[in-house]
């Protein structure tokens, strides 16, 4: 809580000076605006204009228009005013007519001689000071005439746009251009022909080939088809074994393609001689237990369809396929489990003369351990149900028949005539 002792040393505030008396407002003329007019910013009060010197007596009024004095070449030059001296004032308000003579005129009364838009401001005087020196209209009279917008002429025919330079003369295409165009057109035509040909061939390939086409193509199967297609590396026979058991055979050797000389016994070679021999292909397989070995072969003949049909009829009518003296020879590849597979080890076989393609397909089976058979049996007889012979119970008849079926189907398929088969290969 404060006391008076705390403010004992404080100096008293000086007294405020009295407010000066307000100056009386000057009497306003008839055309003057009030001082508080918001449209006018009064910079300073203008004193009354001094009296003008007496002018010469006025000349008698002329009936025509008054002559216009010549325009001075340059505005009068005046030296810079002295420091602190007031600026010279014009002898009349802007826009008012010049005195014509007669009795001296007194100061111009404000109001009637001033334009309605007159403002007694510095901005107004500066805006109209040009008229005081050069007369009314000098601001527009001294300006140069406006220059018309230049028109851009249209380019001449054959000129390059934007430069006006003449365009390069037209040149005929050279020999290289014509050659390139011809090659392009030829290439497009060849591609279009190839596409159309493939489309037509694709449509035709959906139809079954003719017997003549199949027979002719079958003669070239031996050199146009990969060996893995004709003799697959692995053949799976679904339900091909005794009692419907599945069988699997693996290829262990492929003989070089040769002629038929020395590939058959004398009797079989004589029986197949009417068909002729182009090439002989052979391969040897082993079963999954590696106890049975099977040699399959395909002989491409020279005979035509009629000769192949006649040979097939002869084998069927005379039962040449069941004669033991017409068994084919095995292919015993050295260094394999089939190296002991000789003529004495043959247990079952089949020989088929095909009529739709020029080929003779055969197969012969036996044991891999080299055991001999004194009573071999044809495969067609060994696979009959209820047969109790050694080739039937061991499955050697099934091995020979089913592998011959598979190779026969592969040759027909390569010739363009696929046939269904129970075996699967990989």
Rounded CA separation 374/346 (Å): 9
DSSP reduced 3-state for 256: strand
Give per-residue pLDDT as tens, 285-303.
Answer: 999 999 999 999 999 999 9
Least confident of 178-187, 251-260, 387-396: 178-187
User: Quick one: pLDDT at residue 153?
Assistant: 64
pLDDT per residue as tens digits for the range 308-350: 999 999 999 999 999 999 999 999 999 999 999 999 999 999 9
Which pLDDT belongs to residue 219? Answer: 92
Report d(CA 411, CA 65) in Å as an integer: 132
Cα 125 to the chain's mean position, in Å? 75
Question: Counting Cβ atoms within 10 Å, is residue 397 exposed (0-12), middle (13-18) or buried (19+)?
Answer: buried
Average pLDDT, the chain: 77
Please answer whether residues 396 and 373 qualify as being in contact, where contact means their C-beta atoms are separated by less than 8 angstroms. no
For residues 151-180, one letter each, b for 16 or more C-beta atoms within 10 angstroms of the residue's C-beta and e for the rest, the string is eeeeeeeeeeeeeeeeeeeeeeeeeeeeee
CB atoms within 10 A of CB 361: 24
Q: What is the pLDDT of residues 27-79, one digit of tens each?
A: 555 555 555 555 555 566 667 777 776 665 555 555 555 666 666 666 555 55
pTM here?
A: 0.53
Q: Find the helix or strand (DSSP H, E) in which 253 lies.
A: strand 247-258
Interatomic CA distance for residues 36 and 11, integer angstroms: 43
Measure the CA–CA gap between 107 and 50, rounded to whole angstroms.
7
């Amino acid at each position: 809580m404060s006391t008076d002792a705390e403010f004992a040393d404080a100096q008293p505030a000086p007294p405020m000076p009295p407010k000066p008396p307000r100056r009386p407002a000057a009497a306003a003329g008839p055309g003057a605006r009030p001082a508080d007019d918001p449209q006018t910013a009064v910079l300073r009060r203008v004193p009354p204009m001094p009296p003008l010197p007496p002018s010469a007596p006025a000349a008698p009024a002329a009936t025509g228009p008054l002559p216009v004095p010549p325009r001075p070449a340059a505005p009068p030059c005046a030296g810079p005013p002295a420091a602190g001296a007031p600026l010279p004032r014009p002898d009349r308000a802007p826009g008012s007519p010049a005195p014509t003579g007669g009795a001296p005129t007194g100061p111009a009364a404000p109001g009637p001689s001033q334009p309605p838009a007159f403002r007694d401001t510095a901005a107004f005087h500066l805006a109209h000071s040009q008229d005081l020196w050069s007369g009314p209209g000098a601001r527009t009279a001294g300006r140069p005439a406006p220059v018309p917008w230049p028109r851009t002429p249209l380019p001449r025919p054959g000129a390059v746009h934007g430069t006006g330079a003449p365009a390069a003369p037209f040149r005929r295409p050279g020999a290289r251009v014509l050659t390139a165009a011809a090659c392009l057109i030829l290439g497009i035509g060849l591609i279009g022909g190839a596409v159309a040909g493939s489309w037509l061939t694709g449509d035709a390939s959906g139809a079954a080939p003719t017997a003549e086409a199949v027979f002719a193509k079958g003669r070239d199967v031996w050199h146009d088809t990969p060996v893995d297609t004709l003799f697959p590396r692995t053949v799976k026979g679904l339900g091909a074994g005794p009692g419907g058991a599945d069988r699997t055979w693996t290829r262990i050797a492929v003989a070089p393609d040769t002629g038929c000389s020395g590939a058959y016994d004398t009797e079989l070679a004589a029986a197949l001689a009417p068909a002729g021999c182009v090439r002989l292909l052979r391969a040897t397989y082993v079963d999954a237990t590696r106890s049975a070995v099977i040699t399959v072969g395909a002989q491409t003949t020279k005979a035509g369809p009629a000769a192949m049909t006649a040979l097939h009829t002869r084998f069927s009518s005379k039962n040449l396929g069941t004669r033991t003296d017409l068994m084919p020879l095995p292919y015993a590849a050295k260094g394999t489990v089939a190296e002991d597979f000789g003529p004495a080890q043959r247990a079952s076989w089949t020989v088929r003369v095909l009529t739709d393609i020029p080929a003779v397909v055969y197969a012969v089976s036996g044991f891999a351990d080299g055991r001999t058979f004194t009573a071999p049996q044809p495969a067609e007889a060994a696979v009959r149900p209820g047969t109790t012979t050694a080739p039937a119970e061991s499955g050697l008849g099934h091995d020979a028949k089913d592998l011959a079926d598979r190779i026969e189907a592969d040759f027909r398929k390569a010739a363009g005539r696929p046939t269904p088969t129970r075996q699967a290969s990989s």
